[in-house]
Amino acid sequence: MNGIKFITNIAIIIAFYYLSYHIYNGILNSSPPLGDSWDYHIPIAYTIIDGSFLHPKDFLMHQWYYPGSAELLNVILILTGVPLSFSNLIATIVLFFTLFKLGRVFDLEKYYSILFALSFVTLNVVVRWLNFALVDVWVSIFFIFAIILLENPQKNISYFLKLGFVLGMLIGSKYTAAIFILPLLVIYFPKLFKAINLKNIFFFFIPFTIFGLFWYIRNYIYTGNPFFPLVFLNFPAVEIFANYRVWSVFLMHPVTMLDSFFAEFKLWSFSLPFAFGYLIFKYLKIKDYRFDNISKLFILGIVNFLFFLNFPTSEEPWIMVSSFRYSYPAFIMLFLAIFLLAKKHKREELLGYFVIGNMIFVTSLYYYPKLILFYFPTAIFIIWYLNKKNNSLAKFF
């Protein structure tokens, strides 16, 4: 385990570099870049501050009808005068601790769980948005908290209040987040069913309604469509994305989308085909029908990715890149499954080298994903050499 401790400390140093860089950038540029942050995320926060979210007929943009529960951090930042360029930075720090807790719930050792959390929060798909004011990180945080709670159902009222709050915040943060609840219900309902009674259901729906359903009820009252402006059944809607979906843009621009995919996840992009291969081998090749945590997480990741493929997007290259942040709940599950698989086969240190190699793109924070072909083997060799040949340095860490 000393090897994992050493590798994890190297990962912490790299992560600290990214953190300091974006703290400094947030101080220099206190306002988030133009885009979704200023189009609707920050304006939604202002509608909460001035109370206009209760009468949305005066909204200037259709996107202001989006759920606003996750904008509460932006509300706090605005009221306290903290630069909004710190919004996603703060959220990502919370995500790190949430991922660490998730790893511990699935019995990862402390340093190994830290490495798991760092492997995700240092991805391009996370780091490039650190100085924005978005909600996708919060969607992941509440999704993770939902899994943490569902892993250990309890019969008391406080448990159902917490579950109602977490799932309410999940659907109250983004329309697309609501669909991530479906596979959770399928997988965890048999375990949760034993703890359900009428009293617990009542207390569950109090926070679930206040922080989640409220936005859908409001939109239905004012527009006749709970998901306004998105197209939903035959309700009144406004098609903002010209009916483009991630899967259709993949088919129209496969090279650009694959290049964007690799840029955002680098070598972790292969975790998706690996998950498919693992499940095919397990269930079809060797006929092992046990539904363990690794299989459960791989299935959750694949299902969430299939949901992601149907999310709205556009043909513009920057929107293609931007769309991959909607897939956080899919890849968090895939990452955790791979960490569990490495633990099962006692390959934690080998995975640690992979994580370090994937983290090191400090040679450039710009869009040069193919540089990994140079720095990945270099990073692996350097860390392996330090860990294996220089015991005094390993002990220092």
Which pLDDT tens digit goes with each residue over 269-313?
A: 999 999 999 999 888 877 777 789 999 999 999 999 999 999 988
Beta strands in 225-270 (DSSP E): none
- Tens digits of per-residue pLDDT, 82-128? 999 999 999 999 999 999 999 999 999 999 999 999 999 999 999 99
Lowest-confidence segment of 240-244, 274-278, 319-323 by average pLDDT: 240-244
- 2 pLDDT band (50/70/90 cuts)? confident
Give the model's pLDDT for residue 284: 80
Exposed/middle/buried for residue 194 (C-beta within 10 Å: 0-12, 13-18, 19+): exposed
- Tens digits of per-residue pLDDT, 329-384? 999 999 999 999 999 999 999 899 889 888 876 544 555 555 556 656 666 666 66
Give the model's pLDDT for residue 392: 43
What are the distances in angstroms from CA 160 to CA 22, 185, 360?
37, 15, 42
- 395 pLDDT band (50/70/90 cuts)? very low
Give the model's pLDDT for residue 372: 58
139: left (phi over 0), alpha (psi -120 to 50) or beta: alpha
Cα–Cα distance between 193 and 200 in angstroms, integer?
A: 11
- Tens digits of per-residue pLDDT, 178-219? 999 999 999 999 889 989 999 999 999 999 999 999 999 999
CA atoms within 13 A on the CB side of 343: 20
Give the model's pLDDT for residue 394: 43
Neighbouring-strand partners of residue 245: 312
- 260 pLDDT band (50/70/90 cuts)? confident
CA atoms within 13 A on the CB side of 224: 6
- 397 pLDDT band (50/70/90 cuts)? very low
User: Which residue bears the tokens 């309604």?
Assistant: 209
Residue percentage of the chain with pLDDT more than 90? 63
User: DSSP per residue over 163-220, as a string?
Assistant: HHHHHHHHHTT-GGGGGGHHHHHHHHHHHHHTT--HHHHHHHHHHHIIIIIHHHHHHH
CA 76 from centroid of its chain's CA atoms? 22
pTM metric for this prediction: 0.91
Longest dimension (CA), the chain: 68
Give the model's pLDDT for residue 309: 94
**Which two three-digit tokens encode residue 203?**
């207390």
Tell me the helix, strand and coil percentages in the chain, rounded to 5: 75, 0, 25
Nearest to 297 by CA among 275, 269, 266: 275
pLDDT, mean over the chain: 88
Helix (H/G/I), strand (E/B), else coil: 194? coil
Q: What is the mean pLDDT of residues 244-252?
A: 90
Whether residue 33 has a cis bond before it, omega within 30° of 0 = no
**Which two three-digit tokens encode residue 364?**
């450039």
239: left (phi over 0), alpha (psi -120 to 50) or beta: beta
Give the model's pLDDT for residue 396: 37
Give the model's pLDDT for residue 338: 97
pLDDT surpassing 80 at residue 167: yes
- 47 pLDDT band (50/70/90 cuts)? very high
Nearest to 304 by CA among 282, 320, 324, 318: 324
Cα–Cα distance between 112 and 108 in angstroms, integer?
A: 6
Find which of 19-33, 52-66, 135-149, 227-241 is predicted with most confidence, using mean pLDDT.
Answer: 135-149
pLDDT surpassing 80 at residue 54: yes
Helix (H/G/I), strand (E/B), else coil: 261? helix
Domain boundaries, the chain: 2-396
For residues 70 and 95, the answer to whether their CB atoms sit within 8 Å is no
